[in-house]
Amino acid sequence: MDTINLSEYYKNFSKKCDCYNSIIISGLNIDKIIDYGGIYKHKIIIKDSIFNRIYLEACDFYEGLIIRNCKINNGFDFSCSGHNHKPIEFTNLEVNGFFETFDVFFSNIIKIEDCQFKGGHNIDVFINYPSGVSDPKFRQIKL
């Protein structure tokens, strides 16, 4: 199985053209998507894929992030991430390991709905006002 280093993928894409609003990753069946400390100035959309694991730690998604219709066979680590000017959405995910949200911060909407966190999560601990979201209306979570 392959691994996508999201920062490297993004750098290669944005060097070629800065004219797109979104970067779409779709239809994959790979080992993992990884990044630590990435800063994204385009909306990232990851959909209709299967991953063994996702590590997106300390990443800033200024233009938003959408992950939908994905299966993650093990954990999903989103620690210290967020810092969004546009919405971040996780919809229709099946996460069979733990969904980690330690020390996240959202300055726009965080939407989580129709997700199954079979290995548990700490959403209710870390995604709250004022420590996890800058405004209570940004927390749009249906567990």
**What's the whole-model pTM score?**
0.91
What share of the chain in percent tops pLDDT 70? 90
pLDDT at residue 99 above 60?
yes
- Domains of the chain: which residue ranges? 3-142
- DSSP code at position 80: T
pLDDT at residue 17 above 60?
no
What pLDDT sits at residue 18?
Answer: 54
What pLDDT sits at residue 15?
Answer: 52
3-class DSSP assignment, residue 110: strand
Kindly state the tokens that stand for 39.
């800063």
What pLDDT sits at residue 5?
Answer: 75
- 101, exposed or middle or buried, with CB in 10 Å at 0-12, 13-18, 19+? buried
- 109, exposed or middle or buried, with CB in 10 Å at 0-12, 13-18, 19+? middle
Average pLDDT on 115-122 reads 97
